[in-house]
């Protein structure tokens, strides 16, 4: 009886190192890391007419945990916000590196760092972890949003170290279903307020009876002041219809 291709590759050891290509040209450890990202809780990023926002599902199930300690919206700098899906311990390290880079830019050049510089640094570290022996890929995907020179920007990075700029995107579980809704209903004229309603409406459709506004973190940056604002818990109830 013939074995499935993936089982054959495992038996032959092609998945034992992130640097070893399978005969079909796959890096199996990288593909496993991508599966890990899809096991993480969902996050949505949306570029709005007056800024950019990210909405993240904390998916905290243990009532003994303080919800605030499970925050999934990260401040890279006051004008740059990020969220992640996958292994959040990996995300924490990359976020801390990005925060240091942002402060070094302010000290060296006396100006705020551009969002694209942050996502490039994150992706450089991710790509290195797919190229050298003794490392495993970072099992995390990022949404990075920010305002630069009056323009709202949103970037997404995958586990391989690739990144693209988006108008709206989703990472984590249900990402394909969420992206399909974004493709159908996203409007570039959405305001931040409307964007929050839109993101929560999508989560409500996806999660169904499991939807609870208490489980979400939202961070947004407006073009008018370029300062991160966080929202969670009861402050989000007015946006749920």
**Tokens 């409406």 — which residue?**
201
What is the distance in angstroms between the CA of the first residue and the CA of the last residue of the chain? 55
The pLDDT value recorded for residue 11 is 47
pLDDT tens series, the chain, 241 aa: 455 666 555 546 777 777 788 888 888 889 999 999 999 999 999 999 999 999 999 988 787 888 778 889 999 999 999 999 999 999 999 999 999 999 999 999 999 999 999 999 999 999 999 988 788 999 999 999 999 999 999 999 999 999 999 999 999 999 999 999 999 999 999 999 999 999 999 999 999 999 999 899 999 999 999 999 999 888 999 999 8
Rounded-to-integer distance, Cα 161 and Cα 167, Å: 20
Classify residue 31 by its DSSP letter. H
220 neighbors 229 (Cβ within 8 angstroms): yes
Give 159-219 as a DSSP string: TTS-EEE-SEEEESTTHHHHHHHHHHH--TT--HHHHHHHHHHHHHHHHGGG--GGGEEEE
Give 62-87 as a DSSP string: -TTS-GGGG---EEEETTEEEEEEE-
Beta-bridge partner residues of 21: 27
The pLDDT value recorded for residue 172 is 96
Question: C-alpha distances in angstroms, 174 versus 4, 190, 200?
Answer: 26, 23, 14
How long is the chain? Answer: 241
Rounded-to-integer distance, Cα 72 and Cα 199, Å: 15
Q: In order of start, what are the domains of the chain with their CATH numbers?
A: 30-234 (3.60.20.10)
59 neighbors 41 (Cβ within 8 angstroms): yes
The pLDDT value recorded for residue 9 is 57
Give just the sign of the alpha carbon dihedral 241, 196, 36, 156: positive
Rounded-to-integer distance, Cα 215 and Cα 58, Å: 5
């Amino acid at each position: 009886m013939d074995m499935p291709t993936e089982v054959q590759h495992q038996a032959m050891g092609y998945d034992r190192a992130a640097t070893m290509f399978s005969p079909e040209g796959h890096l199996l450890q990288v593909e496993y890391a991508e599966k890990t990202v899809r096991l993480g809780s969902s996050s949505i990023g949306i570029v709005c007419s007056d800024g950019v926002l990210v909405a993240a599902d904390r998916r905290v199930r243990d009532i003994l945990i303080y919800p605030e300690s499970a925050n999934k919206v990260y401040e890279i700098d006051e004008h740059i916000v990020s969220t992640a899906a996958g292994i959040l311990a990996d995300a924490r390290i990359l976020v801390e590196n990005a925060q240091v880079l942002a402060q070094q830019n302010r000290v060296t050049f006396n100006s705020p760092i551009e969002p694209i510089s942050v996502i490039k640094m994150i992706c450089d570290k991710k790509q290195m972890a797919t190229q050298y022996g003794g490392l495993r890929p970072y099992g995390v995907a990022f949404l990075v949003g920010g305002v630069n020179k009056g323009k709202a920007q949103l970037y997404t990075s995958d586990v391989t170290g690739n990144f693209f700029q988006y108008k709206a995107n989703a990472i984590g579980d249900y990402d394909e279903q969420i992206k399909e809704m974004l493709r159908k209903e996203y409007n570039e004229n959405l305001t931040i307020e409307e964007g929050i309603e839109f993101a929560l409406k999508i989560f409500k459709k996806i999660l169904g009876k499991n939807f609870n506004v208490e489980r979400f973190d939202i961070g947004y940056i407006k073009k008018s002041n370029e300062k991160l604002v966080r929202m969670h818990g009861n402050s989000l109830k007015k946006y749920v219809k």
